Amino acid sequence: MQIDKNTNSQARERLSLLFDDGIYSEINSMVKEKDALTGVISAYGYVNGNAVYAFSQDKSLNSGAVGAAQADKIAKLYELAAKTGTPIVGIHDSNGAFMDGTAASLAAYGKMLGASSVISGVVPQISVIAGTCAGTAAMLACSSDFVIMTKDSEFFMAPNSSSGSAEAAAKSGIASAVCDDDKAAIEKARDLVNILPVNNLAPVPMFEFAENSPVSGTDLKSIINSAADADSEIEISAEFGNASYTGFVTIGGATAGIAAAGKEGSKLNSDDCAKLARFMRTCDAFSIPVVTFVNSEGFEDADAVSSIKAMTTLANSYSEATTVKIAVVTGKAVGPVFAAVAGNSSNSDFTYAYPDAVIAPVSSAAAVEFMWHDKLKGTDNLESARNELISEYEKTLASAETAAENNFIDDIIDPSQTRNVLVSALDILSGKRVQKLPKKHNNIQF
């Protein structure tokens, strides 16, 4: 009997958007579930010339309902990706699982979750949520390295009028990016496939590149623009952790991760710590060099307990990472933030600072009050005297020069030379090899 493969389905259109020239080869195309074809299309093809496995759920078949047959098709893709070291893209759009009163649906999802877990950190996994992704399916999507959502898609464990929106997912740090429509979301997935290594043993990709036009200023955007190759920036999790930045660029044609611990001196909160820690762990899994720009007054202390936990997670992710790590203090590095992401405890390979950088254990005002309070006695203008002492402290004990003299940083660099310094440092560190102590994994609190 001839089976209609529903060649005009939206699921197939999405795969055509993903693969080069819309060409892909389908896998297990004849598999049926509940007397119809399974509600998922699994395939392989090329994305910007890179081999990729992908699945796209098809709501036109059984409403995209997930059963054992669909789980088998998806799990096979993960197994193939593991065998060949090939990235995998999942396009999610399903109303949920078949409900027959048994645990069959849980077993099906469990099989997919297990398959995803096996290749986590081995090959890049990207989830595109182009419709509904609910219940256990949300756990599967969230198991990937990056989650990209269309603005009208839904993502939840249980239905809720507000928490399941793409906007809510972005603000909670689940969605790496929110795009206007399928085309934009899948193009974002293509960009990530292009800039990421194909697996954890592959080198970072190399590209033809052009330098950005010189930009004056030491604000974060100007610094990134000056350091990165032209038109190479892909920001990640822009709506989460607003005092921090994470994204991918190319520098001298090679992929690098860019992290910013603080923007214009802002303090980091728990969300910022989680965002930076997650990004570092992702880059480390695929040996992507990370450049961290530091300009922060320290950590927020509104919730002391959760803040300590988040800071510890951040510091541990940096310390444990063995990928190339370069830090540049562009403004202030106050308190534990320096130790967490830039100092010796973070195992940074090179730490640089701009001439006007301030590196201090506490805020300048607190340092003056603690060490030089006597100098404020008898002054006619307390505020003016305190500001003068703060300036003196930042130019002496907390200066970049003092930090360099005490071997806390490797060098002081002019902002205009940031790109040249990074290109040179990344090149010399490209052969970095680190042997870790034998263990299953660390055991810090998350």
Residue 374: predicted pLDDT: 86
What residues have CB less than 8 Å from 373, skipping those under 6 apart? none
Residue 262: predicted pLDDT: 94
Q: Can you tell me the distance from the alpha carbon of 439 to that of 205, in angstroms, rounded to the nearest whole number?
A: 30
pLDDT in tens, 214-233: 777 889 999 999 999 999 99
Residue 320: predicted pLDDT: 94
**Token output for 323:** 């990928």
Does residue 115 surpass a pLDDT of 60?
yes
Does residue 302 surpass a pLDDT of 80?
no
Q: Where are the domains of the chain?
A: 10-195, 220-357+399-428
Q: What is the mean pLDDT of residues 321-340?
A: 95
Residue 94: predicted pLDDT: 87
As a CATH number, domain 220-357+399-428 is 3.90.226.10
104-125 burial, b at 16+ Cβ within 10 Å, e below that, comes to ebeebbebbbebbeebebbbbb
Does residue 134 surpass a pLDDT of 90?
no
User: What's the whole-number average pLDDT of the chain?
Assistant: 91
pLDDT band at residue 3 under the 50/70/90 scheme: very low
pLDDT in tens, 390-425: 999 999 999 999 999 999 999 999 999 999 999 999
As a CATH number, domain 10-195 is 3.90.226.10
Residue 274: predicted pLDDT: 94
Q: Can you tell me the distance from the alpha carbon of 311 to that of 422, in angstroms, rounded to the nearest whole number?
A: 27
Residue 7: predicted pLDDT: 54
pLDDT in tens, 237-262: 999 999 999 999 999 999 999 999 99
**CA nearest to 165, candidates 176, 177, 149:** 149
Handedness of CA 28, 30, 32, 36 (dihedral sign): positive
pLDDT band at residue 288 under the 50/70/90 scheme: very high
Decide: 327 and 350 in contact? Cβ < 8 Å: yes
Ranges 101-115, 146-160, 183-197: which has the least confidence = 101-115
Q: Is 21 helix (H, G, I), strand (E, B) or coil?
A: helix
The DSSP string of 358-384 is EEESS-HHHHHHHHSGGGGTT-S-HHH
pLDDT in tens, 189-215: 999 999 999 999 999 999 999 998 877
pLDDT in tens, 331-362: 999 989 999 999 887 789 999 999 999 999 99
Q: What is the mean pLDDT of residues 118-141?
A: 93
**Token output for 427:** 């090149």
Decide: 258 and 245 in contact? Cβ < 8 Å: yes
Calculate what percentage of the chain has a pLDDT beyond 90.
72
Fold equal for 10-195 and 220-357+399-428: yes
pLDDT in tens, 5-26: 555 589 999 999 999 999 999 9
pLDDT band at residue 101 under the 50/70/90 scheme: low
**How far is the CA of 347 from the CAs of 205, 227, 233, in angstroms?**
25, 22, 26
Does residue 108 surpass a pLDDT of 90?
no
